[in-house]
Structure 1
Amino acid sequence: MLAIMHSLFLYRHFILSSIRNELVTKFVRSKLGGLWIIINPLSQVAIYALILSNVLAAKLPNIESTYAYAIYLMAGLLAWNLFNEILGRCLNLFIENGNLMKKMSFPKITLPTIVLGSSVLNNALLFIAMMFIFAILGHSFNWVLLWLIPLTLLLATFSLSFGLILGIFNVFLRDIGQIIPIVLQVWFWFTPIVYPISIIPEKYHQLLMILNPMYPITSAYQTIIVYGKTPELKNGLVIITIISLALLILSLFLFRRATEEMVDVL
């Protein structure tokens, strides 16, 4: 672990410049530039809200607002998009950078670190855009929003660790790269983002919390942003924290053991 941290510190300028270049490229090479970062998730919100708002808005407990469902959707998608982006990019990270890994000598751990930094930055820009929209819709906020900082750290750790493990396995078994996008689509619909948890029978809530590690996180985002309340740690967040740390240790162990073999295979 100390060796990895030392490598990241030595190559910090490379990491920061790569993240900056990714951001600049998004602004320079398209007419709408960085707006694409927020257009896609907001278009999803518009579609779901248009189709489902009248059906599901009334099922949101303890909130009365014309735009309650749209705000609920955006809160959940803010968490999901960060998870989806980090995991999706890590899945093919080593395959896409195979030539770079073979031709240049550098700490390979910088590659997922760049993905992490870029994805978190994109998510921060999306969050700022959403805050402007919420303000326009008349939705108020308080200091509880600060809870999003540790939650984002938790979500990023879980996403990166899980994505790194899948990315390593995908080098040796390419079917994983085909299966995971399908799994993510199913996973999204089994997570209460488009619909509130209240429409699921209460007897299945505990099972959902155990089987779906994204549920406690998206639920915490919605509790903070929609209701302005502090998330309850007992609702799965402590368990997800433990799982994330275990996955982080496992992913770093696998990465150190598999790096040379990945270069040979690539």
Structure 2
Amino acid sequence: MSRLDLVTKSLRQNDPEFTGNALDETLRTMLNAIWDYRYFIVTSVQADFRSRVARSRLGFLWLVIAPLAQIVTYAFVLSSIMSQRLPGIENKFSYALYLMAGFQGWLLFVEIMTRNLGVFIENGNVLKKISFPRIALPLVVVISSIINNLIFFVVLLAVFLLTGFPVGLNLLWLPVLLVVNAALAAGIGVTLGVLNVFMRDIGQVVPIVIQFLFWMTPIVYVKDILPPAFQSIIRINPLYWLVENYHRIMVYDQRPDFAVLGILFLIAVVFIGLGLFLFRKASPEMVDVL
């Protein structure tokens, strides 16, 4: 029996009202359901982290080793090309720090979106056996991903300090970016996750789109090196604006562009609304399809 099964069994024993009817057509009822099953959500987040580091000697270090290895690879290959193209930054590690700031935002978005893409399919057996608020599954992904991203941030902050890079007060705006980032990723992820249950081709297409978006986002390069026409094209990408704000507060010590963040948050709200609408409509048929 999986850990998630054990959690739900425990909830059944401790809460006789544990049913799947807690979610109805109103957002207030959905929030109440989330609160009622907070123990399930918290325990599931804990189980998620334990499963990642199970039988691992390095434990939680693996949560940051892989992304750091990716950053080091790009920094080693491209630092000689890009190090002179970061105006206003007087630090020999400037390009590596620029990479870290970009990946801080990119990794959170990709983890939340891709994990929510398959969250209902991966938990199909649990959905068939136990009745519970299914919206809790994406919420567990979001919380777990945010904690993982904060762990990664602590490591990056230590690197910034060790390299002598000044950390400004504008870094305090990071929670605002985190909220906008997580909301946008969750909205898109849940929308695609519901559709993926019924159209599995979506799960094959999304990784290709993510690769395309990665190179359409100024993470491993500075936008100023691109031709003006191409700069106009990549500005269509919402992740361009999101990552640019990570660079603003973490590398250039500037306040985020609140107008841009407001637009991104509105886009996130639209996707969250669409995802919840599709979820409510498709929820009764999900178990049968899975």
Q: TM-score range by the shorter chain?
A: over 0.9
Distance, in Å, in 1 between the alignment partners of 2:88 and 2:165 is 14
Does the 8 Å CA contact 2:118/2:193 hold for their aligned counterparts?
yes
Unpaired segments of 5 or more residues in structure 1?
Answer: none
Distance, in Å, in 1 between the alignment partners of 2:212 and 2:58 is 31
Map 1:110-259; keep pairs closer than 5 Å: 110-209=136-235, 211-234=236-259, 236-259=260-283
Where does residue 76 of structure 2 map in the other structure?
A: 50
Task: Output the amino acid matched with 1:30.
Answer: S
User: Alpha carbons of 1:55 and 1:43: their partners in 2 closer, same or farther (altered >3 Å)?
Assistant: same
Task: Output the amino acid matched with 2:139.
Answer: T
RMSD over equivalenced CA pairs, Å? 1.2
Does the 8 Å CA contact 1:60/1:198 hold for their aligned counterparts?
no
Distance, in Å, in 2 between the alignment partners of 1:116 and 1:162 is 12
Asked which structure has the greater CA Rg, the reply is: 2
Q: SS where residue 126 of structure 1 aligns? A: helix
Task: Output the amino acid matched with 1:162.
Answer: I
Task: Output the amino acid matched with 1:261.
Answer: E
Distance, in Å, in 1 between the alignment partners of 2:50 and 2:122 is 20
Q: CA deviation at 1:28?
A: 3.9
Q: SS where residue 31 of structure 2 aligns? A: helix
Does the 8 Å CA contact 1:49/1:69 hold for their aligned counterparts?
yes
Task: Output the amino acid matched with 2:254.
Answer: K
Q: SS where residue 227 of structure 1 aligns? A: coil
1:186-241: CA deviation from partner (whole Å, max 9, x where unpaired): 110111000011112335434422x201011100001111111112234x323212
Q: SS where residue 230 of structure 1 aligns? A: coil
Distance, in Å, in 2 between the alignment partners of 1:217 and 1:247 is 16
Q: CA deviation at 1:182?
A: 1.0
Count how many residue pairs are aligned between Structure 1 and Structure 2: 264
**Is the counterpart of residue 99 in structure 1 residue 128 in structure 2?**
no
Distance, in Å, in 2 between the alignment partners of 1:176 and 1:196 is 31
Task: Output the amino acid matched with 2:238.
Answer: P
**Is the counterpart of residue 260 in structure 1 residue 253 in structure 2?**
no
Distance, in Å, in 1 between the alignment partners of 2:262 and 2:228 is 21
Q: Report sequence identity in percent.
A: 43
Q: SS where residue 251 of structure 2 aligns? A: helix
Give the alignment's TM-score, normalised by structure 1.
0.96
Task: Output the amino acid matched with 2:143.
Answer: G
Task: Output the amino acid matched with 1:219.
Answer: E
Choose between structure 1 and 2 for higher RCO, CA contacts under 8 A separated by at least 6 residues: 1
